[in-house]
Amino acid sequence: MRVFGIDPGSLRTGYGCIDSDGSCHRLVVCGAIATRGCETFADRLVAIHRELVALIAVHAPAVVAVENLFHAANVRSALKLGHARGVALLAAAGQGVPIAEYTPAEIKRAVVGYGRAEKHQVQEMVRLLLGLPAVPEPNDAADALAVAICHVHMSVPAEVAAARAATAKGPASRALTSWRNYRPPGDPR
């Protein structure tokens, strides 16, 4: 399954596309659409929409997963983020691609195993799950990949998840299932 994840923002919108069979994930592309602060807000939204439409068309995902708005520092920030989310939803819907939305807590729980995980923990798990040598840059791209991974983990049928858990053996199989089991290289624990 090919999943395209979006982490919306009015100045920088992260995107990440993965291929997954439900247990193994492979990076297809990731990055961020950066807009200039000197542009009008409407022009920034047009640029985000145009880029997302082109990326979705090129990579032809089965589904687009978008981070859902949950709160912002102030009303003005929430409104701008809401507009950017709307543009992302429109880009996917306009291409006829199904859309899934996840809250930040759902994303953290699906990727790290803990809904209140910190940003660096999520980014490190993204790196581990995709087998990358470094955390994807910029941070918005790593966040968008986390949204895509969340969708895969949330859409795995219960019987597949149960079978996977039953066949898992030893600490190596637990290493990628929860941040709590992660140990940096060289850690003797």
Q: Which residue has the tokens 């520092």?
A: 73
Residue 21 annotated in active site: no
Distance of CA 108 to the CA centre of its chain: 10
Residue 140 annotated in active site: yes
**Under a CB-based contact definition with an 8 Å cutoff, are residues 7 and 67 in contact?**
yes
**Under a CB-based contact definition with an 8 Å cutoff, are residues 179 and 128 in contact?**
no
**Under a CB-based contact definition with an 8 Å cutoff, are residues 19 and 1 in contact?**
yes
- CA–CA dist 65, 167 (Å, integer): 29
* Active-site option among 7, 51, 106, 124: 7
* Cα–Cα distances in angstroms (integers) from residue 149 to residues 105, 106, 121, in the given order: 14, 11, 14
* Active-site option among 67, 106, 124, 143: 67
* Active-site option among 51, 106, 124, 140: 140
Residue 19 annotated in active site: no
The residues carrying an active-site annotation are 7, 67, 140
